[in-house]
Structure 1
Amino acid sequence: MTESLNQVLAQADRAMPESLERLFALLRIPSISAQPRHAQDCRDAAEWLSDELASLGFAARVAETPGHPMVVAHDDSAPHGPHVLFYGHYDVQPTDPAALWHSDPFRPAIVKEADGREVIVARGASDDKGQLMTFIEACRAWKRVHGALPLKVSIIVEGEEESGGANLLPFLKAHADELKADVAMICDTGMPNRTTPAITTGLRGLVGEEVTIDCATHDLHSGMYGNAARNPIELLCGILGKVRDAEGRVTLPGFYDGVTDAPAAVRAQWKTLFPDDAETLAPVGLSVAAGERGYTAVEQIWSRPTFEINGISGGYEDDGFKTVLPARAMAKVSFRLVPGQDPARVREAFRHYVRESLPADARVTFASHGASSGFAVPQDGPYLKPALAALSDEWNVPAVSIGSGGSIPVVAELKEALGVDSLLIGFAQSDDRIHSPNEQYGLDSFHKGVRSWVRVLDRLATAR
């Protein structure tokens, strides 16, 4: 480790009380983007962040959108090295139900848990203000010691991530020349456990679909028409039940075109982290992986495509009992996709299968609910290995590449608008209760997060 890096790490340690004060100031702003009454609070958060970045020497501004504003900042004081674009969001989820909070969600407090670990409790502590501030405080430490960052840094902070983010992609496209960088870094992710740092290198995409089957002109008396009249619930259940086979594989033709397994070395890391499916599933009251055979539970979640029935309805659903034969049945289904799959082709394959499965007197309609592609960081790219090495140095544990079963739209949007790949580096824990009452972020996550970003910036400064 160079003396230059040592000095910055020491500064980050010394400044931790002041860093926490700044985080608490941001957490006190109730920037709930989904609720119109908090529009001014969202603007206040954007202006607070812009002022903080300007105080560090960034060329920072609050940029207008049709919705809540963006914060955009640039620092090009470094004479060499790659250009990185950091993304975070300042908006937070609503706090309902209020009665379940142990304290005011916008009056951050440090609480000691039963195991002695100290956590910051507040809405946005983990998602995403705490994570966002780890990066800003790392930049502050570099600036205070050396007066400059080790590489060129741009920052964009969104204000609508928790309410759909409709304005982000148009903004990125409109400002592509200004924001284009060598690599993007996103902090809205976590670690697989308390001690192992990670970079999320794979995200699944999504196809959401609503399917409705109509048969008779109106609901019928089952005693008068049962057997003779087509039952759309029975029909829909039968159709959906055949989308997976006995091995858990999706049966749609061409569904697995372009799908490849995660690299063997990465799967071996995951096996070390999660050696037992029963242990992986225990927190949700399950014990046996139920999906695609031949893959562990974690592999199924992080790196395999899937089909799920998210909701189904039809007929009489109120209290009591009614002998009705329904005229209509509806289901909401989704496909989680991995890199190599085309969302449009998957959607059309599903619709074709349903249409071909319909008997006489049955009609089907579809409604789309979004689509996105899977994402993967190339394992041999120029920035992944240096970033993993930096995290390993800080945590004294080999950093790992992990996947995510969910979708983070900004990753695909950055790729589409700017042509840039992303490194997803975050320090959240599975018990941070994001989106729930009593959201928290560990003091260790915040402190080690700042130090980790100090090291990542140092390592990436010489990467190409």
Structure 2
Amino acid sequence: MGHDLDDYCAANQPRFVDELIELLRIPSISAHPDHAPDVRRNAEHLAAAAREAGFSTVEVVETEGHPAVYAERMVDPALPTVLVYGHHDVQPADPLDEWVSPPFEPEVRDGKLFARGAVDDKGQVYMHLKAVEAHLRTRGELPVNLRLLVEGEEEVGSSHFEQLVADLGDRLAADFAVVSDTGIFARGVPSLTVGLRGLAGVEVEVRGPSLDLHSGVFGGAVQNPIEALARMLASLKDPATGRVTVPGFYDDVVEPTAAEREGYRSLPFDEAAFRATAGGIPATVGEEGWSVLEARWVRPTLEINGIWGGYQGPGGKTIVPAHAGAKITCRLVPNQKPEVIANLVAGALRAATPPGVTTEVTARGGGSPVITPADHPAVRAASRAMGAVFGVEPVIIREGGSIPPVEVFQRVLGMQSVLVGVGLPDDQIHAPNEKFDLDHYAMGIRILARLWDEVAKEPA
């Protein structure tokens, strides 16, 4: 089963690459206002490709920001219905001088396709179109109902996505969602992502005197806001254990099962390679008792993202500064709630404020963590499809980052998601020389084509 699809994909793969190259030529940079016409042109190009692939209803959907693409092929109400999500916008390409070939002039080198958006996420969205085409050209129909939603603002925070979901309403109704905006654990180690961490944020401003003071005249008698802030921030984490010290921070954390932890330990993790990927750091750190993978996937974090205060110019300026500030974010795991954690951290900062300064703290909730049970029908089906193509059963993993639409699907639509991506850790997403290995592009199309057969096999 599936060999007819494999044969079609193999015979047409050169064309699949050529078509993707045409899409990658469009500089759909959502962050840059000058490229708004390109984002729209990109949506129209993708909509035309969806029609050509065989989606029976296709439209460019307006939002208050950049347009999205919606498509569907509804075969039979009795069949399972799947919602496919992706995004068609891309990151800025700066710094341009670090690209070997121009970011929007796609080039194939050593079996890899180099261009901005090659794998994140145009290439992986295009895999879905070609998988649908393969079914329709070989069998005449899909074994499931498919809905497709490709947004144009993922790289700028999906700020209008929730309204888009509300506007589309019942047109997004499905049994589950498939998201191809991720990668696998390593070459030769296929994986399915079933969990994403959530996000909460806090900004703190520490104020002392109403103006900068002479450090000789006032120093030693006036609390220094930078010193106060440094002590406050340092109090949030135990340097000996790596644990966050904010009262109540871990109260709602659901620990991974023993089987999950054993699965993570079995993965071929190369710490030296990880340190190199992380910018050549001399050592890893983390919460005591947890591995590097667990620290990235299943444990909550508290990170200081930015800090400011005092004189920043050349030379010296002997002052006690008037104020200082910092930005903090926390990555969250099930069942932590963004608003709760943001308020707990804000409360800890207020409580740690020393005499002589005042603290203004703004708590910002973000996205909730999401997890799909490993025995969910979508995960079972995706595991069989990926295993058939890779020749080895995929491992079940989580990711440390957040994909806001996945959280929206779960919170607003009550819909679970499975992340079926085939990118590699060295794909340079968001960096110069982004690439997509063409063998993975080919395997991704075959996996998604087989996936719809596997979904149809699952009991209702």
TM-score by length of 2: 0.95
Matched, 1:462 2:460: no
Matched, 1:12 2:16: no
SS of alignment partner, residue 217 of structure 1: coil
- For 1:278 and 1:433, locate their aligned partners in 2 and report how far apart those are by CA, in whole Å: 18
Task: Tell me which residue corresponds to 2:266.
Answer: 272
- Kept in 2: contact 1:71–1:157 (CA 8 A): yes
Residue of 195, 204, 210 corresponding to 1:202: 195
- Kept in 1: contact 2:339–2:363 (CA 8 A): no
- For 1:48 and 1:279, locate their aligned partners in 2 and report how far apart those are by CA, in whole Å: 39
- Kept in 1: contact 2:26–2:42 (CA 8 A): yes
Q: Which runs of 5+ in 2 are unaligned?
A: none
SS of alignment partner, residue 377 of structure 2: coil
SS of alignment partner, residue 15 of structure 1: helix
Shift of 1:157: 0.8
- Kept in 1: contact 2:350–2:361 (CA 8 A): no
**Cα displacement string for residues 137-177 of structure 1 (whole angstroms, at most 9, x for unaligned residues):** 11110110011111111001111111222111101012221
- Kept in 2: contact 1:214–1:329 (CA 8 A): yes
Shift of 1:358: 2.1
SS of alignment partner, residue 414 of structure 1: helix
**Cα displacement string for residues 29-56 of structure 1 (whole angstroms, at most 9, x for unaligned residues):** 1211222222222222111221222221
Matches for 1:73-152 after TM superposition, within 5 Å: 73-78=71-76, 80-112=78-110, 118-152=111-145
Task: Tell me which residue corresponds to 2:389.
Answer: 394
Amino acid at match of 2:56: F
Residue of 143, 158, 164 corresponding to 1:165: 158
SS of alignment partner, residue 461 of structure 1: helix
Shift of 1:392: 1.2
- For 1:243 and 1:57, locate their aligned partners in 2 and report how far apart those are by CA, in whole Å: 52
- Kept in 2: contact 1:79–1:151 (CA 8 A): no
Task: Tell me which residue corresponds to 1:292.
Answer: 287
Shift of 1:359: 3.1
Task: Tell me which residue corresponds to 1:29.
Answer: 26
- Kept in 2: contact 1:214–1:363 (CA 8 A): yes
Residue of 322, 340, 365 corresponding to 2:335: 340
- For 2:268 and 2:247, locate their aligned partners in 1 and report how far apart those are by CA, in whole Å: 32
Amino acid at match of 1:226: G
- For 1:455 and 1:324, locate their aligned partners in 2 and report how far apart those are by CA, in whole Å: 67
Amino acid at match of 2:381: P
Residue of 233, 255, 260 corresponding to 1:261: 255
How many residue pairs align between the two structures? Answer: 456
**Cα displacement string for residues 215-262 of structure 1 (whole angstroms, at most 9, x for unaligned residues):** 112112222222211111111111111111221111112111221222
Matches for 1:420-459 after TM superposition, within 5 Å: 420-459=415-454
Residue of 362, 377, 380 corresponding to 1:367: 362
Task: Tell me which residue corresponds to 2:246.
Answer: 252
Matched, 1:406 2:401: yes
- For 2:136 and 2:269, locate their aligned partners in 1 and report how far apart those are by CA, in whole Å: 43
- For 1:182 and 1:275, locate their aligned partners in 2 and report how far apart those are by CA, in whole Å: 34
Amino acid at match of 1:94: P
- For 1:233 and 1:209, locate their aligned partners in 2 and report how far apart those are by CA, in whole Å: 17
SS of alignment partner, residue 453 of structure 2: helix
- For 1:16 and 1:333, locate their aligned partners in 2 and report how far apart those are by CA, in whole Å: 46
SS of alignment partner, residue 133 of structure 1: helix
**Cα displacement string for residues 385-408 of structure 1 (whole angstroms, at most 9, x for unaligned residues):** 221122112101220111111111
- Kept in 1: contact 2:343–2:363 (CA 8 A): no
How big is the alpha-carbon RMSD for the aligned residues of Structure 1 and Structure 2? 1.6
Amino acid at match of 2:138: V
Task: Tell me which residue corresponds to 1:115.
Answer: none
- Kept in 2: contact 1:278–1:287 (CA 8 A): no
- For 1:263 and 1:380, locate their aligned partners in 2 and report how far apart those are by CA, in whole Å: 14
SS of alignment partner, residue 200 of structure 2: strand
Q: Which runs of 5+ in 1 are unaligned?
A: 113-117
- Kept in 2: contact 1:201–1:424 (CA 8 A): yes
Matched, 1:49 2:46: yes
Query: Which deviates further from its counterpart, 44-53 or 336-345?
Result: 44-53
- For 1:63 and 1:78, locate their aligned partners in 2 and report how far apart those are by CA, in whole Å: 24
